[in-house]
Structure formats: C-alpha cells, structure tokens
C-alpha cells in the first residue's frame, strides 16, 4: 500500500505534543471560519475562487500561456477585492469572535441574552401574556427539548413575544434556552407533585417549579391573569419578582450558593416549607377569589 503514496511514510515528521496542539488549533480555526460563512453569500464567492484556481492549474498543465498570464496578473488583487466586497461580513465576524469565545458563552454575551429575555418578559408582563421560559445550566434538558418543536434560533425579544402570542401555534408550552440559542418551543415540563401547592399556583408556575426540582435550570414565568413575573430555581419559586432581580439571576446563572439570596416567604405559606419551599416577594391577597384562565388553572 505504501508504494501508491506520493512519498514514503518514513518521511513524515514525528507527531509530537506541539504538532498535535498545532493541528487542533488550526482545526478549531477552520471550524469557526466555516460557522461564520455558513449560509452566507461568501460561500458562493469562495466556490467561484476555487473554480478559478482549478482553471489556473489546468492552464499551467495544458500550457495555456495567455490564460495563465491573465489569471496570474489578477491574483494579487483578489485579497483587496474580497475585503471591499465583504467588509460588512468581516466586521460582523470579528465582532462575533470578540464577544463569543471558542468554549461556552462569554459573560458579555450572557448579559446581552439576559437583557433580551428581560425585555421580552417586561413586554409580556405589561400586556398580560402568559409565558414560561427555561434557561439551561449544567444539567442538560435534552429530554424536554425533544418534547417540543425544534427552533435553534438566536435569542431575541421579538421572537419570544411572537412565540407566546395568544393564539399562536407555539404559545402553549415552555421555551428552552441552551447557551445562546432558543433550542425549542412548546415543550412539555413535569409539574410539581406537591399537593399543597394545587390551590396556590397555576399550571405554568407548577411546571416551572417542577422543572427546577429535576434540574438546576432557571425558569421565568409570566402570569396570564395578573401579569406578575415569577422565577423558579433549585426547587423554590419567587412570586412577583422585579425585573432587575430576573436580570441578575439570568446574567449570574445563580448557583447553589446564591439560594440564601432568595426572598423569605410570607407567613401564610410557611406550612409549605416542609415539602417544597415556596417563596414570595410580596404577600398573596386572599380577600377575594382569583379567577384563573385555562392556562393558569391547576
């Protein structure tokens, strides 16, 4: 088999740790480059340049001196032409590399994502549009993602508001955010099984509490009846949370050491602490019965 190779295997340089690191870095750069140009017109331009390179090689092999000379004369100006043609794409690509490292989501990008979610929550809270948004942390939510509709879209306030628009095909269910992408919508989540909460919380709130009991995610709920915002994390829930608190929890991704920062529950809910702790930032009024819509009823 070695006789079919253009060079013997003995001439290959030894694979050292430095060479392996060099290969990994180059492969990562090529992968990032392919991600940047994927779906853009730059792909077609690069294919055109590949065709011209192939024509130049054929001209050299067939000794077509005139064609080879023309292509060789135009080659030095190709780089300048590409910079002029794709200055917008290059600027966008450099900005993307600056705010997103190769591994994970940067702190700056995480803050931008939390702001988009908070702006969407604020708009839906003002219009009393019910919503349930789940942000994944370390424990994966793939099982629940597969129960919904796959989206794989960038996080934006307009998209979130469109998903939960009343009467829409995807409004009944949860949106799951993984990293910097909206992975799926209309997802089914497990409800908390605490029987003492059936009269206290609606379906969306019990689903948010249920998913927070099974994973370390953060679930944001907007009540369709009152427009109040609630946040569930680590099996606990805060009712009527300020938007500043929501943004802080999303941007910091709230680890287990931050559980002490959750507000103290009112006395009339203290009986629930032995089963599933429920915490409210403001007392729940019981002076008159609250009529829930079909989506917020237990």
The helix (H) or strand (E) run that includes residue 30 is helix 17-37
The encoded tokens of residue 295 equal 């989506």
Residue 235 confidence (pLDDT) = 84
User: How do residues 22-79 score in pLDDT, each as one tens digit?
Assistant: 999 999 888 877 776 666 667 777 788 889 899 999 989 998 889 889 988 888 888 8
Q: What is the 3-state secondary structure (H, E, C) of 76-134?
A: HHHHHHHHHHCHHHHHHHHHHHHHCCCCCCCHHHHHHHHHHHHHHHHHHHHCCCCEEEE
Confidence of residue 266 (pLDDT cuts 50, 70, 90): very low
Q: How far apart are CA 37 and CA 24, in angstroms?
A: 20
Average pLDDT, the chain: 76
């Amino acid at each position: 088999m070695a006789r079919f190779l253009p060079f013997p295997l003995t001439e290959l340089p030894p694979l050292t740790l430095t060479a392996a690191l060099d290969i990994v870095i180059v492969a990562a750069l090529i992968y990032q480059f392919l991600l940047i140009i994927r779906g853009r017109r730059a792909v077609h331009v690069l294919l055109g340049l590949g065709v011209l390179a192939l024509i130049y090689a054929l001209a050299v092999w067939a000794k077509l001196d005139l064609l080879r000379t023309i292509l060789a004369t135009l080659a030095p100006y190709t780089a300048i032409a590409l910079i002029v043609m794709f200055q917008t794409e290059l600027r966008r690509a450099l900005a993307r590399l600056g705010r997103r490292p190769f591994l994970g989501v940067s702190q700056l990008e995480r803050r931008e994502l939390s702001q988009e979610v908070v702006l969407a929550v604020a708009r839906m809270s003002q219009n009393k549009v019910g919503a349930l948004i789940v942000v994944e942390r370390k424990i994966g939510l793939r099982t629940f993602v597969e129960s919904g509709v796959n989206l794989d879209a960038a996080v934006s306030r307009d998209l979130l508001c469109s998903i939960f628009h009343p009467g829409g095909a995807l409004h009944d269910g949860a949106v799951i955010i993984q990293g910097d992408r909206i992975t799926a919508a209309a997802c089914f989540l497990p409800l908390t099984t605490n029987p003492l909460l059936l009269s206290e919380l609606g379906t969306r709130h019990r689903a948010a509490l249920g998913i927070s009991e099974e994973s370390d995610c953060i679930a944001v709920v907007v009540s369709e009846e009152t427009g109040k915002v609630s946040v569930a994390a680590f099996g606990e829930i805060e009712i009527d949370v300020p938007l500043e608190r929501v943004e802080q929890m999303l941007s910091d991704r709230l680890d287990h050491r931050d559980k002490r920062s959750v507000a103290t529950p009112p006395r009339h809910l203290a009986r629930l602490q032995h089963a599933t702790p429920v915490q409210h930032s403001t007392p729940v009024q019981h002076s008159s019965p609250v009529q829930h819509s079909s989506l917020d009823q237990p």
